[in-house]
Amino acid sequence: MDVQPVTTPSGVSPAPASVSKTPHDKEVNEVSFTAYPKLMFIWPIILAGLVFWPLAWESALPVLGWTYLLIWVFVVLTLGVDVGRDQAVFWVVLLLLIGAGGALVNAWWQIPVLTNIYGFFGSLGVKYDRGFGLGMSVVLAIPFVIMIFWSRFNDRWRITHNEFEHYRFGRTTESLGRGAKTIRIEYPDVFEAVLGLAGTLIVYSATGRQELRRIPHVLFLPYVRAKLNKVLETMAVTGLAQAAAEEEEG
């Protein structure tokens, strides 16, 4: 899918001595986030069971049943495959063509293809079971909550002007050390982007040629990227100031 580079500290022109800031500007000294496993994306199933419980009156059971089924399909696809942007566009166009083709066949040759498909699914008698839905939410909520706490202890990242630190419970804290870095972001799965604005954050060397770390499933990645821009801009200006000071001393 598309790759969007974040601020690259190397090659940045020196900043002026005084930079005017608006009252809304806020200095960002660090960015902290957690990389969660794919289990994070089961949250729609948990939420659906809780929300559908008070809505499950008799007349709404078929609609809720199909909605719950489609949520399950969407979540299973999110957990099982990575669908990039181009693939998603292809499948959407293909489904639209199938729908248009079925309508044309019905209009020209009076063959009710789409009507027969709708009739088949309608004959299945799908209905939502409020007890099953709530029970599924409660059962899935247990590993979901454990996963959240475990990820915060075992897969937490902290990026400052000087270091990229990876905190892991019971293990030595991993650090990429000082120096300029290039950071890029990817959205390898459209479903993950829809369910959590999630993507992959990739840390490269200052030249952008060597991949140092790949951090998948970062939630709210656009927000994290915006904060990283500010941190890395400060890192670049600091590096230029240090280089200038070294030249004066030399």
Q: Where are the domains of the chain?
A: 3-14+29-35+156-244, 41-148
71-84 pLDDT tens trace:
999 999 999 988 88
49 has a pLDDT exceeding 90:
yes
197-216 pLDDT tens trace:
999 998 887 777 788 888 99
Residue 146: exposure state from Cβ atoms within 10 A (0-12, 13-18, ≥19): exposed
Q: Tell the residue number behind the tokens 């230029």, with chain if given.
A: 240
Q: Is 172 left (phi over 0), alpha (psi -120 to 50) or beta?
A: beta
User: Do 175 and 58 meet the contact criterion of CB atoms below 8 Å apart?
Assistant: no
Q: Give this prediction's pTM.
A: 0.74
pLDDT confidence bin for 69, thresholds 50/70/90 = very high
Q: Is 13 left (phi over 0), alpha (psi -120 to 50) or beta?
A: beta
Question: What letter represents residue 186's amino acid?
Answer: E
What is the rounded CA–CA span in Å between residue 9 and residue 206?
A: 7
Buried b (16+ CB within 10 A) or exposed e, 191-220: bbbebbebbbbbbbeeeeeeeeeebbbbbe
> What does DSSP assign to residue 1?
-
